[in-house]
A and B are shown apart, each in its own frame.
Chain A
Amino acid sequence: DAGVIQSPRHEVTEMGQEVTLRCKPISGHDYLFWYRQTMMRGLELLIYFNNNVPIDDSGMPEDRFSAKMPNASFSTLKIQPSEPRDSAVYFCASRKTGTGLEKLFFGSGTQLSVL
């Protein structure tokens, strides 16, 4: 299995631009999570989906952030407009119900820099 695939690996953009991060979970996994990692705050949960349905988006910092999961093999996290404080590493993770409590499989992340 190829694991969780995220793209792009690196994104550099200017303040005010729209940014879209992409994730392909492991085939057969029914949960998908978006996390953000910074030195100051560590790894924070932004939103998670179960069977393509958003379950909890309370971690999304503000309305500039949105996430979708149109099907079981694809999810996007969009920031519009982007701000310098959004600079971080964004991780997507997935897991399958019944494989053990919260054994998450993470992608390699997208390093986002907003100038």
Chain B
Amino acid sequence: EDQVTQSPEALRLQEGESSSLNCSYTVSGLRGLFWYRQDPGKGPEFLFTLYSAGEEKEKERLKATLTKKESFLHITAPKPEDSATYLCAVQEGNTPLVFGKGTRLSVIA
């Protein structure tokens, strides 16, 4: 069973059409949940870290939230430059990150 499951696999939005990406996890001792952005041909780039249920982080049009079983990445009024793959990762205890397979977001002008 995958420890981290992201949905949907792919999402196509019109510019300005807000939506949310989901990341559910099954680890018991969550130390942190991480969101990364990956552009084609590049490595993942760090966005946020969330540590406890109820925590929220914001950056421009992105807001990440965390519950005890899942995290959401809300995208408000997206622009074409927000098109990328968004990766979620969890850390259990002192172990390295475990990544989900990502959500490929396309924002159409």
Cα distance A103–B51 when bound, in Å?
A: 13
* A106 and B96 contact, CB distance less than 8 A: no
**Pairwise interchain contact B97-A102, C-beta atoms closer than 8 A:** yes
Asked if A101 CB lies within 8 Å of chain B CBs, one says yes
Tell whether A42 pairs with B43 under 8 Å between CB atoms, given A101-B49, A102-B34: no
Residue of A44, A48, A93, A102 with most chain B CB atoms under a 10 A cut-off: A102
State which of A56, A101, A106 has its C-beta within 8 Å of the C-beta of B43.
Answer: A106
Judge whether A102 and B42 touch: CB under 8 Å.
Answer: no
From known contacts A43-B87, A100-B49, A102-B34, infer whether A108 and B42 are also in contact, taking CB-CB under 8 Å: yes
Is A104's beta carbon under 8 Å from chain B?
Answer: yes
B101 and A109 contact, CB distance less than 8 A:
no
Place the interface of chain A in its size category: 20 to 34
Take A102-B32, A106-B43, A109-B43 as given contacts and tell me if A43 and B99 are in contact as well, using a CB distance cutoff of 8 Å: yes
Considering only residues 87-115 of chain A, those with a C-beta below 8 Å from chain B are 91, 93, 100-109
> How many angstroms from the CA of A35 to the CA of B99 in the assembled complex?
10
Residues of B within 8 A of A (CB): 31-32, 34, 41-46, 49, 51, 87, 89, 91, 96-102
Cα–Cα distance between A62 and B22 once the two chains are bound (Å): 33
B44 and A43 within 8 A (CB): yes
Q: Which residues of B contact A102 (CB under 8 A)?
A: 32, 34, 49, 89, 91, 96-97
Q: CA–CA, A91 to B89, complex, Å? A: 16
With A4-B43, A104-B46, A107-B43 known to touch, is A42 a contact of B97 (CB < 8 Å)?
Answer: no
Residue of B nearest to A6 (CB): B43
Specify the chain B residue showing the minimal Cβ separation from A105. Answer: B46
A102 vs B101: C-alpha distance when bound (angstroms): 18
Complex interface: chain B residues within 8 A of A48 (CB) = 96
Q: Pick from B44, B51, B91, B100: contact of A106, CB below 8 A.
A: B44
B interface footprint on A3-37 (CB within 8 Å = 1, 0 otherwise): 01000000000000000000000000000010100
